[in-house]
């Protein structure tokens, strides 16, 4: 090959190499100039759901009815106490026993007095019967006949009096055993073995049937929304929720606080581990039905500076920060009451790391997982 031809070939090769390098650098510059997504996210559209309507209230838990069990014996020594606070008792169960020896002696004496009165009454009836038989013969005077009849009636009255005395002493003997007037739970005990209790002295307190009620304090404005039979959920101090039902609404509103009491029946608390106990303060919710709501996943809502925001994905791949108003919650869904169009595409995962105008890459939910 001649030198001029070789020079032409080398020049051609150099030009080709330079062109390739220039083209590669231009492509790299173009790739570097393209914006990169700030985050990979998943999106979803808001859903129309039906959420429960409710309103909150506070109040005390109390016994539905508390029975005071007192002594009906006077001057007797308490011999035995069979129950303690927290015990579940049945109707008619013996709770305490008084010393019955003095009363048993009085019962025996009353029985003897009755037998004596019945014997005297039998003799008086026989005398009166003979007197009536001789009344027409004139063998007895009218005064004597009247006296026999009076004696008969007096003897019958003494029998009746002796029977009443015996019944009274038998009743005293019955009262030596203190029994439960109803089934329930013993909530207080003042009975002490060896003490001599007077008539009417309080020995026990009992929550009848173990039934409790929540006395919710409801404002006058909310009161018309509460009706007997409505369901309510009462939350104990430990977080346990108990289902209840409205029994009745107080007929008056307190003039000072402007609240009324709503009485909610709770399940019987017959166990020591029951979540609610009389005397507790508890909060709760009254169920008022359902209503339609626009909801988004809870993770789609970002809270910043005390306000709630969601991020809408636009057609250009960038997000717009929207300030919204949230409402009710159910599971992992949150109601949005204002600030969000129903057809918006909302960022569900990664919302807490975004800022207004960020470019994102949207992937299907399954791929994101």
pLDDT value at 25 more than 60: no
Residues 172 and 237 reside in one and the same domain: no
CA atoms within 13 A on the CB side of 99: 14
Domain limit, last residue, from 272, 288, 304: 288
Is residue 228 a contact partner of residue 248, using CB atoms and an 8 Å limit? yes
Orientation of helix 142-174 relative to helix 101-133, angle to 10°: 160
The closest alpha carbon to 41, from 334, 304, 319, 298, belongs to 319
pLDDT value of position 22? 43
| Residue-range definition of the domain harbouring residue 228 | 56-64+210-288
Contact residues for 127 (Cβ-Cβ < 8 A; gap 6+)? 148, 151, 152
Residues 114 and 125 reside in one and the same domain: yes
User: Is residue 262 situated within a structural domain?
Assistant: yes
CA 309 to chain centre: 36
For range 202-216, the mean pLDDT: 93
pLDDT value of position 107? 94
pLDDT value of position 250? 92
User: Is residue 147 situated within a structural domain?
Assistant: yes
pLDDT value of position 368? 41
Structure tokens at 314: 């636009």
Using pLDDT thresholds of 50, 70 and 90, give the confidence band for residue 34. Answer: low
pLDDT value of position 365? 65
pLDDT value at 15 more than 70: no
pLDDT value of position 9? 54
Using pLDDT thresholds of 50, 70 and 90, give the confidence band for residue 274. Answer: confident
pLDDT value of position 8? 44
Query: pLDDT: is 272 or 55 the higher one?
Result: 55
User: Is residue 198 situated within a structural domain?
Assistant: no
**Pair type for strands 39-44 and 360-362:** parallel
Residues 253 and 334 reside in one and the same domain: no
Query: pLDDT: is 22 or 89 the higher one?
Result: 89
Residues 182 and 254 reside in one and the same domain: no
pLDDT value at 2 more than 60: no
Using pLDDT thresholds of 50, 70 and 90, give the confidence band for residue 31. Answer: very low
Is residue 273 a contact partner of residue 291, using CB atoms and an 8 Å limit? no
Structure tokens at 315: 């057609």
pLDDT value of position 271? 73
For range 77-100, the mean pLDDT: 93
Domain limit, last residue, from 256, 288, 320: 288
The rounded mean pLDDT for the chain is: 85
pLDDT tens-digit map of 151-199: 989 999 999 999 999 999 999 999 999 999 999 999 999 999 999 988 8
pLDDT value at 17 more than 70: no
Using pLDDT thresholds of 50, 70 and 90, give the confidence band for residue 16. Answer: low
Residues 88 and 185 reside in one and the same domain: yes
pTM over 0.75: no
User: Is residue 60 situated within a structural domain?
Assistant: yes
**Number of domains the chain contains:** 3
pLDDT tens-digit map of 115-160: 999 999 999 998 888 887 777 777 777 788 788 889 989 999 999 9
pLDDT value at 23 more than 60: no
Cα(180)–Cα(93) distance, integer angstroms = 5
**Which CATH number do you get for residue 163?**
1.10.287.470
Residues 74 and 169 reside in one and the same domain: yes
Residue with tokens 């329930």: 184
Is residue 94 a contact partner of residue 204, using CB atoms and an 8 Å limit? no
pLDDT tens-digit map of 290-339: 889 999 999 999 999 889 999 999 989 899 999 999 988 888 899 999 98
Residues 274 and 302 reside in one and the same domain: no
User: Is residue 19 situated within a structural domain?
Assistant: no
The closest alpha carbon to 43, from 357, 297, 294, belongs to 297
Is residue 70 a contact partner of residue 201, using CB atoms and an 8 Å limit? yes
Is residue 286 a contact partner of residue 320, using CB atoms and an 8 Å limit? no
Query: pLDDT: is 172 or 238 the higher one?
Result: 172
């Amino acid at each position: 090959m001649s030198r001029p031809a070789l020079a032409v070939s080398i020049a051609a090769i150099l030009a080709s190499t330079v062109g390739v390098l220039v083209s590669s650098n231009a492509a790299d510059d173009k790739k570097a100039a393209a914006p990169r997504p700030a985050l990979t996210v998943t999106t979803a559209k808001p859903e129309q759901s039906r959420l429960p309507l409710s309103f909150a209230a506070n109040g005390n838990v109390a016994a539905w009815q508390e029975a005071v069990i007192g002594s009906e014996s006077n001057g007797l020594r308490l011999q035995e106490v069979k129950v303690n606070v927290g015990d579940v008792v049945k109707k008619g169960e013996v709770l305490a026993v008084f010393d019955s020896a003095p009363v048993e002696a009085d019962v025996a004496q009353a029985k003897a007095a009755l037998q004596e009165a019945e014997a005297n009454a039998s003799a008086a009836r026989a005398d009166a019967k003979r007197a009536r038989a001789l009344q027409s013969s004139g063998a007895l005077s009218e005064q004597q006949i009247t006296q026999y009849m009076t004696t008969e009636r007096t003897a019958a009255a003494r029998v009746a009096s002796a029977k009443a005395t015996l019944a009274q002493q038998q009743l005293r003997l019955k009262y030596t055993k203190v029994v439960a007037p109803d089934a329930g739970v013993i909530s207080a005990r003042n009975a002490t073995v060896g003490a001599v209790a007077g008539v009417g002295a309080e020995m026990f307190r009992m929550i009848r049937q173990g039934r409790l009620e929540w006395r919710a304090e409801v404002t006058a404005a909310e009161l018309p929304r509460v009706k007997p039979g409505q369901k309510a959920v009462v939350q104990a101090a430990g977080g346990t929720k108990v289902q209840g039902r409205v029994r009745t609404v107080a007929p008056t509103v307190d003039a000072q606080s402007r609240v009324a009491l709503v009485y909610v029946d709770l399940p019987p608390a017959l166990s020591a581990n029951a979540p609610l106990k009389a005397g507790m303060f508890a909060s709760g919710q009254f169920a008022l039905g359902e209503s339609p709501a626009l909801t988004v996943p809870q993770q789609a809502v970002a809270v910043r500076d005390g306000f709630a925001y969601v991020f809408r994905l636009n057609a250009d791949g960038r997000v717009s920060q929207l300030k919204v108003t949230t409402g009710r919650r159910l599971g992992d869904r949150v109601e949005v009451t204002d600030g969000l169009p129903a057809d918006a595409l909302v960022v569900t995962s990664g919302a807490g790391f975004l800022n207004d105008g960020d470019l994102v890459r949207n992937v299907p939910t399954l791929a994101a997982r």
